Chains A and B, each alone.
Chain A
């Protein structure tokens, strides 16, 4: 896409400042309405019955007693959700994940649902539903699921990406291979080769707001859904498809969203709420409990990864390979593929090969989690990079710089990088004061890098100018982290007006054209692009109107600093017309003044980050505390620096939680043992230090302002940075994430044991 790049590097009036967000007051006063904050007349309360078994055949569901309970208005099972997907595998997987069809595939899989007049009645009704299960063998570990003796979860899964195609079904949905060059020759040329294996456990996005919606289906086939989602348009399309509704007749309104991080990109229980509403012919409110959120929605993959890196004595990497096994829960995923595409992206490695396996297990269907798949691959690569640096006797940062990807380097997924920021980020690392902070006993420092693609996609905005000259910008990308401020700033910048004169809101699906889900750090990138074009579209209308008002030819009008002016000496006595003045006369100069844009915002700039982490390890308990932490990331262009920093800090905090303590713990019985915030330990305020940030701006040439997505890349480095810091503090390398006290103490013990063995021998 050819863009006008003249704005890159221009002097901005509004962009780069720190304005108050438009939804700020609502959110600090409790007025903002989230998923669970809407009500409708006559609404019912929905509750979902979930399988307590990891894998079981559902022989019978007897709902008769529940149906007879006073106050129960609808009970549904999969029979109420006939398969209308026409064999579209992706859609049938979603349907089956929403409610089990003959088989419960994981602990927490929905089996039936009720709608009743109140919560008490709904709970009571669930207890009256009798499900007869026949237990089936289950598997929850990614490596075990790949073994030939493992129970095969789906008989229709034949590993894709294999030549020849396998003749027997297995739990391996796909094999993906990426890379370039000749790795065998590369390894042959290496002076040092390091091979290591790593494991990472499953984590959850952990948004504080549970999934919640209010569904209302009318007998005439029209329907409304108020829901906390990252993608109201995608929710609309999927729900309409699963329920057989017309897309235009299902209006989805995205509520304020209490965090998503990828977990609210997919439908979970929303189709159930709609089906219940249809059956009861009343509005139905469905709010998940925290336990349901953990057991049945969007965790990320757990992994098992082998990495091999070869280098010359001078530090040049000659070859590298990754073999990565990602479990995607009970349905096929694309997670191994994403691991292949990101693992080595920070480095210019001429001979590289990455193989990813997508594995099915009896766990909930994996959803995207902030730079999905990249943190695990990066943990393996960044840990091994430090080991190789040690083997060749180089400083770990210098070793990375020696091999760093630059403009012209080939990405693991094929293309050649344009201008990118990882080299600058590593140079900033070297300069950063944290690198000189003194480390005491049991303290250590680690550095790691991270990459994420970012995406663009279908986008559509409306910009409407009121008669007082204030501006409404309607966007279709949900604002998860403060994007409304940035988009308002962009519109103000283009129009040349004050930020206070622009109000941005997120439109419902009936009021705006399709917008892709807010994922892949695309919100500000793509809606920002559309906002620029919509503003320019409006400016053309403003110029038309000004020409009329001044009675000059259209092409004599120019737009500068929020004003129309007729250029040329013959017009020098004419006044300038402000946007406000033109807007006031709109009714008599041709009607409403608006700007629109529909765009496929391709050309998202890739994002890179480098982090510095200082830790202290208690050698007697294995406890690791983060002492200091710095994030350096390329933002292309920071529209609102506060919220860019906020993305960096939030992503780093999630990565730290993942690295140290967060994990799904499954029992032998295949049940999740810690579905709550007490034992699924996300970092609390006292666990973290201030997180220092440094925003780099290497403009993305494919965006008019040079914007890159900033939301995801900084969750990628923390796992490796922490591992490297622990190794620096203790001399012991961790191979299993999270690096919890039990695992660290165990590793310290093993190291001591092998050392004493060596000295004894």
Chain B
């Protein structure tokens, strides 16, 4: 599964704008990313969000990732 990275997450992954990772849930995806790129841990602490097929998940790490889903990782946002 190709996971696209955005913002500071690119730098944390050594400048790549996407990485190949197999994962069936958001939790698994994040754990495997941090394993592979330790710098990612800091970004996870700051807060990240995952977009699966266009729907943005900020908190729910139990969310399943369907096969062939389009997955984007981005920094978590705030609002007014």
Classify A-B as touching or not with yes or no (CB < 8 A): yes
A520 CB–B CB distance under 8 Å: yes
Interface residues on A, range: 35 or more
Q: Encode B26-50 as 1/0 by CB contact (under 8 A) with A.
A: 0000000000000000000010000
A519 & B7 in contact (Cβ 8 Å cutoff): no
Residues of B within 8 A of A338 (CB): 77-78
Q: Which of A260-311 contact B (CB under 8 A)?
A: 260-263, 265
Contact of B56 among A174, A205, A415, A458 (CB under 8 A): A415
Are A177 and B54 in contact, CB atoms less than 8 angstroms apart? Answer: no
Per DSSP, chain B at the interface is loop
A720-756 CB contact bits vs B (8 Å, 1 = yes)? 0000000000000000000000000000000000000
Contact B58 A455 (CB under 8 A): yes
Contacts of A162 in B (CB 8 A): 11
Chain B neighbourhood of A340, CB < 8 A: 7
With a cutoff of 8 Å between Cβ atoms, the chain A residues found around residue B11 in the complex are 160-163, 175
Q: Are B7 and A413 in contact (CB under 8 A)?
A: yes
Chain A residues within 8 Å of B55, by CB: 1, 415, 418, 602-603, 702
Question: Does A624 sit at the interface, judged by CB under 8 A?
Answer: no
Contacts of A595 in B (CB 8 A): none
Please determine whether B80 and A205 come into contact, CB atoms closer than 8 angstroms: yes
Whether the Cβ atoms of A372 and B70 lie closer than 8 Å is: no
State which of B4, B53, B59 has its C-beta within 8 Å of the C-beta of A457: B59
Q: Please determine whether A602 and B59 come into contact, CB atoms closer than 8 angstroms.
A: yes
A160→B42 CA distance, assembly (Å)? 11
A533 to chain B, nearest CB (A): 14
Contact indicator A370/B59 (Cβ below 8 Å): no
A1 with B14, Cβ < 8 A, contacts A176-B8, A519-B78, A603-B55 known? no
Binary per-residue interface labels of chain A (357-374) against chain B in the complex, 1 for a CB within 8 Å, 0 otherwise: 000000000001111100
Question: Are A371 and B80 closer than 8 Å at their CB atoms?
Answer: yes
Contact with A along B1-13 (1 / 0, CB 8 A): 0001011101100
Question: Are B78 and A372 within 8 A (Cβ)?
Answer: yes
B4 to chain A, nearest CB (A): 5
Main secondary structure of the interface of A (DSSP, over half): loop
Verify if B25 is at the interface (C-beta below 8 Å from A): no
CB of A133 within 8 A of chain B? no
Residue of A262, A263, A413 with highest tally of chain B CB at under 10 A: A413
- Chain A residues with CB under 8 Å of B60's CB are 1, 600, 602
* Per-residue contact bits, chain A 147-165, to B (CB 8 Å; 1 contact, 0 not): 0000000000000111100
List A586-625 residues whose CB lies under 8 Å from chain B. Answer: 600, 602-604
A453: CB under 8 A from chain B?
Answer: yes
Which single member of A178, A416, A520 contacts B78 (CB below 8 Å)? A520
Q: Is the CB of A600 within 8 A of B59?
A: yes
CA distance A416 to B69 in the complex (A): 11
Question: Most chain-B CB neighbours within 10 Å: which of A175, A338, A415, A454?
Answer: A415
Find out whether the CB atom of B78 lies under 8 angstroms from the CB atom of A414: no
- Which residue of chain A has the shortest Cβ distance to B51 in the bound complex? A415
A-side contacts of B54, CB under 8 Å:
415-418
Contacts of B8 in A (CB 8 A): 160-161, 174, 176, 337
Q: Are A413 and B79 interface neighbours, CB within 8 A?
A: no
Q: B80 touching A519 by the CB < 8 A rule? A: yes
Q: In whole angstroms, how far apart are the Cα atoms of A499 and B66 in the complex?
A: 40
B58 adjacent to A456 (CB under 8 Å)? yes
In the complex, are the beta carbons of B7 and A161 less than 8 A apart? yes
| Also in contact, A368 and B78, with CB within 8 A (given A177-B10, A337-B7) | yes
How far, in whole Å, are A261 and B53 apart by their CA atoms in the complex?
A: 30
Min distance, Cβ A512 to any Cβ of chain B, angstroms: 17
Pair B74/A413 contact, Cβ less than 8 Å: yes
Q: Is B7 a contact partner of A453 (Cβ separation < 8 A)?
A: no
Asked if B63 is at the interface (CB within 8 A of a chain A CB), the reply is yes
- A499 to B51 Cα, complex, angstroms: 36
Q: Mark A1-38, 1 if CB is under 8 A from B, else 0.
A: 10000000000000000000000000000000000000
Residue of B nearest to A414 (CB): B72
A176 x B79 contact (CB < 8 A): no
Residues of B within 8 A of A369 (CB): 80
Query: Does A334 lie within 8 Å of B78, measured CB to CB?
Result: yes
A414 touches B59 (CB 8 A): no
From known contacts A174-B8, A177-B10, A519-B79, infer whether A453 and B56 are also in contact, taking CB-CB under 8 Å: yes
Q: Does A711 contact B (CB under 8 A)?
A: yes
CB of A163, distance to nearest CB on chain B (Å): 5
Known contacts A1-B60, A161-B11, A341-B74, A453 near B79 by CB under 8 Å:
yes
B79, A602: Cβ atoms closer than 8 Å: no
Q: A163-B11, A413-B6, A520-B80 are in contact. Are A334 and B75 (CB under 8 A)?
A: yes
Chain A residue, CB-CB nearest to B59: A600
| A521 sits at the interface (CB 8 A) | yes
From known contacts A176-B8, A413-B6, A414-B74, infer whether A602 and B80 are also in contact, taking CB-CB under 8 Å.
no
B47 to chain A, nearest CB (A): 9
Is A522 interfacial (CB 8 A cutoff)?
yes
Using Cβ atoms and an 8 Å threshold, which residues of chain A touch B14? 163
The answer to whether B6 and A416 have CB atoms under 8 Å apart is: no
| Contact yes or no, A415 B72, CB < 8 A | yes
Closest A residue to B10 by beta carbon equals A177
- When chains A and B are docked, how far (Å) is the Cα of A372 from the Cα of B8? 18
- The reply on A664 being an interface residue by CB < 8 A is no
Chain A residues within 8 Å of B46, by CB: 90
Q: Are A414 and B79 touching (Cβ within 8 A)? A: no
Q: Provided the pairs A415-B51, A602-B58 are in contact, do residues A711 and B80 lie with their beta carbons within 8 angstroms? A: yes
* Residue on A nearest B14 in the bound complex, by CB: A163
Give the distance to chain B from A164, nearest Cβ to Cβ, in Å: 10
Residues of B contacting A370 with CB < 8 Å?
80
Contact of A415 among B70, B77, B78, B80 (CB under 8 A): B70
Assembly CA distance A178 to B9 (angstroms): 10
CB distance from A454 to the nearest CB of B (A): 7
Least CB distance, A351 to chain B, in whole angstroms:
14
- Chain B residues with CB below 8 A from A453, complex form: 56, 77, 79
Contacts beyond the supplied A90-B46, A414-B74, A453-B77: 7 A-B pairs with Cβ under 8 Å: A1-B60, A160-B8, A205-B80, A334-B77, A334-B78, A341-B74, A457-B58
Q: Which residues does B use to contact A, with CB under 8 Å?
A: 4, 6-8, 10-11, 14-15, 46, 51, 53-60, 63, 70, 72, 74-75, 77-80
Give 16 pairs: A residue, B residue, CB < 8 Å, sorted on A.
A1-B57, A161-B10, A162-B11, A178-B7, A265-B78, A368-B78, A414-B4, A414-B6, A415-B55, A416-B53, A417-B54, A455-B58, A600-B60, A602-B59, A603-B56, A604-B56
Which are the 5 A-B pairs with shortest beta-carbon distances?
A520-B79, A262-B80, A414-B72, A415-B51, A370-B80
